[in-house]
Amino acid sequence: MSKNATPEELETAMLSLLEERGPGKTIGPADVAQVLGGNQPEGWGPLMQPVRKVAVRLMKEGRIVILRKGRPVDPDDFRGTYRLALPPEAET
């Protein structure tokens, strides 16, 4: 568990959780942060911004989808609560 998780560690955790969850299912950014930061807010809280940055990069690469209210967002301009999912083509 590391408060200084690397982008690579966050990416690995994010993609692993999505694959475990399965096609058509979503995860929250806190789920990813808790894998590396633990269950206490002081552990996972500082990882929330790095998780968001990794999610934005992966969406731009077409590897995940960021959803807000069940719809894909503009990765450069979204606010509030969001979920992460595999892209539909990866669900085959």
Write the secondary structure of the chain as one string of H (helix), E (strand) and C (coil).
CCCCCCHHHHHHHHHHHHHHHCCCCEECHHHHHHHHHCCCHHHHHHHHHHHHHHHHHHHHCCCCEEEECCEECCCCCCCCCCEEECCHHHHC
pLDDT attached to residue 92 = 45
State yes or no: pLDDT of 1 exceeds 70. Answer: no
- What does the pLDDT look like over 8-58, one tens digit per residue? 999 999 999 999 998 889 999 999 999 999 999 999 999 999 999 999 999
- What does the pLDDT look like over 56-66, one tens digit per residue? 999 999 999 99
4-38 b/e (C-beta count within 10 Å ≥ 16 → b)? ebeeebbbbbbbebbeeeeeeebbebebbbbbbbe
